[in-house]
Amino acid sequence: MNVDYIIVGLGLAGLAFTEELERNHKSYVVFEDNSQNSSLVAGGVYNPVILKRFTPVWDALDQLKSALPFYQSLEKKLNTQFDFPIDIYRVFTSIEEQNNWFNACDKPFFEKYMIAEVVKNHNEYINAPFGFGHITNTGKIDTKALLQSYRNYLVEKNKLFNESFDYDSLQLENNEVVYKNFNSKQIVFCEGYGVVKNPFFKSIPLKEAKGELLTIHAPELKLEVIIKSSVFIMPLGDSYYKIGATFNWTDKTLHPTKEAKEELIKKLNKVITVDYKVVGQSAGIRPTVKDRRPILGRHSTYKQLAILNGLGTRGVMLAPKLAKQLYDCLENNKELDAVININRFEG
């Protein structure tokens, strides 16, 4: 069977690229083996402000211009809500931080997002004597619902194969690839941290970071915004909250750990003083590149092979714009920006 594209991996990167193909009426098949779950467990937050230092997220405004309409159009296509706008309250730890906040508010980049005032804390169960900085026009994508819904959509169209892509079975012919009974002019690898098993791209300089989250039930907390302190507390509805996230650069396993649970509980107990119950824990590996930028483009030798990876900590905002950039590169020979091009690590 001839197809225009084979896609390996259906996390946020693979989904965004597949959708780009759909929009351009290209034929494709997708292989997904559930070996990684960064996109499934992600908090899903989109926010252009780095909350540690009140500085801009790289390229954020442009990414949001692609991302928000992208998720809205998927909501229509799949008839499900995925985008949940929600504001963020950053807990201040000192007067100095409040001053830094006001300084940042003066910058045009933050005009639409940072509100130039200190919000007083009225929630008796939150520890925030210096108040909060209020960030608006932010939100979260329910990535789990989105991926499940998109997978169902592809299954119905017979385009999703629930199996591991077997790199040894890939044959590289002159201008195409042959994989089992598929002939394709191009293959795009979107395996997240799974790329370490890909013999064609295994040398990309990843600096992956395992992340873990807790789900708690806290009926008295009654939050309607995301609280960001040393952890974030994200309302999920019905008094459930997601608490996250850890960063671990040495553990490459996918399972939740006792250490991460203890770390999150310790930090959480400094922010809230209400009774709660831990009801869940999840873990995933963020595919972060050493220079903290995504990694896109064709293989230096085998032009039929391409990669879309390195979404790191911000896959929600990055994936739609990057998928379009990669598509324009592969189909229209449009040069990729040097900062995201895989060739920055070659030669």
Ligand X SMILES: Cc1cc2nc3c(=O)[nH]c(=O)nc-3n(C[C@H](O)[C@H](O)[C@H](O)COP(=O)(O)OP(=O)(O)OC[C@H]3O[C@@H](n4cnc5c(N)ncnc54)[C@H](O)[C@@H]3O)c2cc1C
By CB under 6 A, name the binding residues for ligand X.
Answer: 8-14, 31-36, 38-39, 41-45, 164-165, 190-194, 211, 213, 244-245, 284, 286-287, 309, 311-317
Q: How far is the CB of 16 from ligand X (least distance, A)?
A: 8
On the 0-12 / 13-18 / 19+ scale of CB atoms within 10 A, 78 is middle
Q: How far is the CB of 141 from ligand X (least distance, A)?
A: 8
Q: Which is nearer to ligand X, 44 or 133 (CB)?
A: 44
Pair 31, 6: CB distance under 8 Å:
yes
Q: Which is nearer to ligand X, 40 or 115 (CB)?
A: 40
Residues 6+ apart with CB under 8 A from 261: 212, 214, 278, 281
Q: Which is nearer to ligand X, 313 or 325 (CB)?
A: 313
| Gap between the Cα atoms of 216 and 100, Å rounded | 32
Q: Which is nearer to ligand X, 59 or 131 (CB)?
A: 59
Q: How far is the CB of 106 from ligand X (least distance, A)?
A: 27
Q: How far is the CB of 30 from ligand X (least distance, A)?
A: 9
Q: How far is the CB of 40 from ligand X (least distance, A)?
A: 7
Q: Which is nearer to ligand X, 315 or 320 (CB)?
A: 315
Q: Which is nearer to ligand X, 128 or 231 (CB)?
A: 231
Q: Which is nearer to ligand X, 46 or 276 (CB)?
A: 46
Angle 19-24-27 from CA coordinates, rounded to 5°: 80
Q: How far is the CB of 62 from ligand X (least distance, A)?
A: 15
Q: How far is the CB of 317 from ligand X (least distance, A)?
A: 6
Q: How far is the CB of 189 from ligand X (least distance, A)?
A: 8
Q: Which is nearer to ligand X, 247 or 266 (CB)?
A: 247
Q: Which is nearer to ligand X, 94 or 230 (CB)?
A: 230
Q: How far is the CB of 319 from ligand X (least distance, A)?
A: 7
What does the block give as tokens for 186?
A: 């191009």
